[in-house]
Amino acid sequence: MSRHARASEKVVIALGGNALVPPEGQGDVREQLRSIRGSAQQIAKIISEGAQVVLTHGNGPQVGHLLLQQEEARRWAPPQPLDVCVAMTQGQIGYLLQQALQSALRERGLSPPVVTVVTQVLVDPRDPAFEEPTKPIGPFYSEEEAEELRRTKGYALKRVGNGERPYRRVVASPRPLGIVEEDGIRELVEAGCVVIACGGGGVPVMRTDGCLRGVEAVVDKDLASERLATALRADTLLILTDVERVALRYDTPEQVDLERLTAEEARRYLEAGEFPPGSMGPKVEAAVRFVENGGKRAVIASLTQAVQALEGRAGTTIVR
């Protein structure tokens, strides 16, 4: 058994997009399965060493493809709103992860139930993100198509590229307040299940007159993972991505890889703008918030080094 993944340690593992779709691939199911099977082997090893594991995951490529499919088929079938698309991809990715993880666990002589929970994440209708949508989603549009969508559907669209179709729809990315299915997920974990939850950051919902309703928005997967890990009183939040460590002055000749940080140091670097909001920023913020909210440690590491990261031999560890 590894030094850190000891029996009964509760670990929330947030899988980045590279765990689900190879960067050079087209994202078809066969490619996804190959990537997911590799991830499942790492996770199965962690479970075999005694850790209680809850998985979260991104859905960017999958929800993007689904929106493209709906755009092409809109003459024959009504398109679904974004919150429904997020729920659909939670089921899609959860199914593939369940199957791969069940097989990887069976190879190790283990058979815990692996369960996907379609998860709703509560957001604040007054969140400033709704005033200025910034998250690009779906296909590219020409100027004429963008104007038509603004007029007929009220979409916010921004020019994000060049060429004949430079516009994309942008939506809000509000901060997650809490996990609606928190109690159910906790009961499943306590019953010995491996739970897959908060896919794609969860389905963003608002509470209106005591009822929940979906919102056309996207919640950051890492920030939602922190909310779940904190709610479950997890020991460790492990955020897996496509770089080996958090770094200062990333991708410059002066790059400095960071092995260990306190939450205070990490927040200071974050506020100084060392970690861009579109990439490492949310991961570091999620790690810092988790530790500040009572978690023992957060680790940001490469997907291929998940086991070593939990053992303290890879990645960047953030502690109190």
Residues marked as catalytic: 17-18, 135, 221, 283
Joined together, the tokens standing for residue 166 give 């430079």
Closest CA to 221 of 179, 269, 263: 179
Nearest-angstrom CA–CA distance, 147 and 142: 9
Closest CA to 239 of 266, 212, 268: 266
Nearest-angstrom CA–CA distance, 287 and 311: 17
Closest CA to 134 of 105, 86, 169: 169
**CB contact set of 274 (below 8 Å; sequence gap of 6+):** 248, 249
> In angstroms, what is the C-alpha Rg of the chain?
20
Maximum pairwise Cα distance, the chain: 60
Joined together, the tokens standing for residue 7 give 């029996």
Joined together, the tokens standing for residue 135 give 């998250």
Q: Left if phi > 0, otherwise alpha if psi is -120 to 50, otherwise beta: which for 57? A: beta
37-68 burial, b at 16+ Cβ within 10 Å, e below that, comes to: bebbbbbbbbbbbebbbbbbbbbbbbbbbbbe
Q: Find the helix or strand (DSSP H, E) in which 120 lies.
A: strand 120-122
Q: Left if phi > 0, otherwise alpha if psi is -120 to 50, otherwise beta: which for 27? A: left
Strand partners, 116: 196
